[in-house]
Amino acid sequence: MPQSNWIVDDKGQLLVDFVGRFETIEKDFGVVCERLGRTATLPHIKKSKHDHYRSYYNDATKQIVEKRFLADIERFGYRF
């Protein structure tokens, strides 16, 4: 299921005023803490080594992902 399904209404309008990204999780977590007036840390547990996500896709799998997650790709500005 596209992630945007969780944060938009039935007309496609955003229901939240901030969307954090995993790619910038530390910075975005800081934004959330600041907005809430809290101080907290976000530990990185079970870190794994892996290549950039683009290296795991070929043309066929890109098309599958693009078709299935087009709403997220467009809404959040992702690209392959």
pLDDT in tens, 14-32: 999 999 998 899 999 999 9
Residues 78 and 72: beta-carbon distance below 8 Å = yes
Identify the band that residue 79 occupies on the pLDDT scale cut at 50, 70 and 90.
confident
Q: What confidence tier does 53 reach under pLDDT thresholds 50, 70, 90?
A: confident
As for how many domains the chain has, the answer is 1
H or E stretch covering 31: helix 25-36
> In whole numbers, what is the pLDDT of the chain averaged over residues?
92
Asked whether the predicted pLDDT for residue 33 surpasses 90, the reply is yes
- Domain that includes residue 13, residue range: 3-76
Query: pTM here?
Result: 0.73
pLDDT over 90 at 46, yes or no = no
